[in-house]
Amino acid sequence: MPQAPDSVRALAAAYTCGHCNSNTARLAQAEDGMWHIGIEHDDGCPVLNGTVSDIHDTLRALRRSA
Ligand SMILES: [Zn+2]
């Protein structure tokens, strides 16, 4: 499998869930070439079950990784 681009790895390294404090668990590339950053949230995390959006954590990670 090809290695993720620097920008994707930097974003993954900077991501932390604001609710359960989980970090990136894995990176995977889909067949269409899009990279996906998998987060291993704790059981019951409101982000994991969709109660709360992860957009704020994603934006914080983008700012940290820039
Ligand atoms: Zn979480």
pLDDT at 1 over 70: no
42 lies in some domain = yes
Q: How far apart are CA 7 and CA 18, in angstroms?
A: 21
In a domain, 49, yes or no: yes
Task: Quote the ligand 1 centre to 62 CA distance (angstroms).
Answer: 17
Tell me, what's the pLDDT at 47? 95
Considering the domain boundaries, does residue 15 fall inside one?
Answer: yes
Question: Which residues constitute the domain of residue 34?
Answer: 6-65
Measure 4 CA to ligand 1 centroid, in angstroms. Answer: 23
In a domain, residue 1? The reply is no
| Model pLDDT, residue 25 | 84
Tell me: the pLDDT tens digits for 9-54? 999 999 999 999 999 889 999 999 999 999 999 999 999 999 999 9
Total domains in the fold of the chain: 1
| Model pLDDT, residue 62 | 93
Q: Identify whether 20 is part of a domain.
A: yes
- By CB atoms closer than 10 A (0-12, 13-18, 19+), residue 26 is exposed
SS3 55: helix
Q: What is the DSSP string of 13-54?
A: HH-B-TTT--BEEEEEE-TTS-EEEEE-PPTT-TTTTTSS-S
